[in-house]
Structure 1
């Protein structure tokens, strides 16, 4: 099995590893995001969300956006459009 792993995994479990070029890394991160979201959806364990965040933060960093700036973007969008606390399910008007 080959996949993107955290930095210390090869030291802990052996095997071989190599650094990815930028295009490979972005592609692997996108695949990893899907994997981590899937693990959360399957297990429902909050700890899996930490893995999702790690991938999201890394993707944002590739785009030149740090954690603080990403959080500011999230907060701005929440202020403009709201969050999800009201648990609203919307049905668009028929046209």
Structure 2
């Protein structure tokens, strides 16, 4: 079934099964590759928003959700988790990470 991308939301693969186990029957469809990519981008925004709103106790779980979406987006782009980590490491080696807590306020 093909639906407009504005209807419904992308959910984790086991959510329909979990809904069934609770006695309801979910209505779902499989997104096309283009819709999937767009919905993953939307999902990333949703998960980042949830992370930003979370307190310190819930932040790790929300951050894990962000990471799950990042891995899915990378896969859509043909990049596996190992390749993504190598790209991250190369950027960190070239430009540094964020561990030193440096805040830039402009140039003189």
Question: Same-fold call, TM > 0.5?
Answer: yes
- Equivalenced residues, count: 94
Moved over 6 A (4+): none
Shift of 1:74: 0.2
1:36 pairs, out of 27, 31, 47, with 47
Alpha-carbon separation, structure 2, partners of 1:62 and 1:52: 15
**Does the alignment pair 1:53 with 2:67?**
yes
Determine which structure has the larger helix proportion and give its number: 1
TM-score scaled by length of structure 1 = 0.93
Alpha-carbon separation, structure 2, partners of 1:49 and 1:16: 28
TM-score scaled by length of structure 2 = 0.82
Q: Which stretches in structure 2 are left out of the alignment for 5+ residues?
A: 1-6, 20-24
Q: Which stretches in structure 1 are left out of the alignment for 5+ residues?
A: none
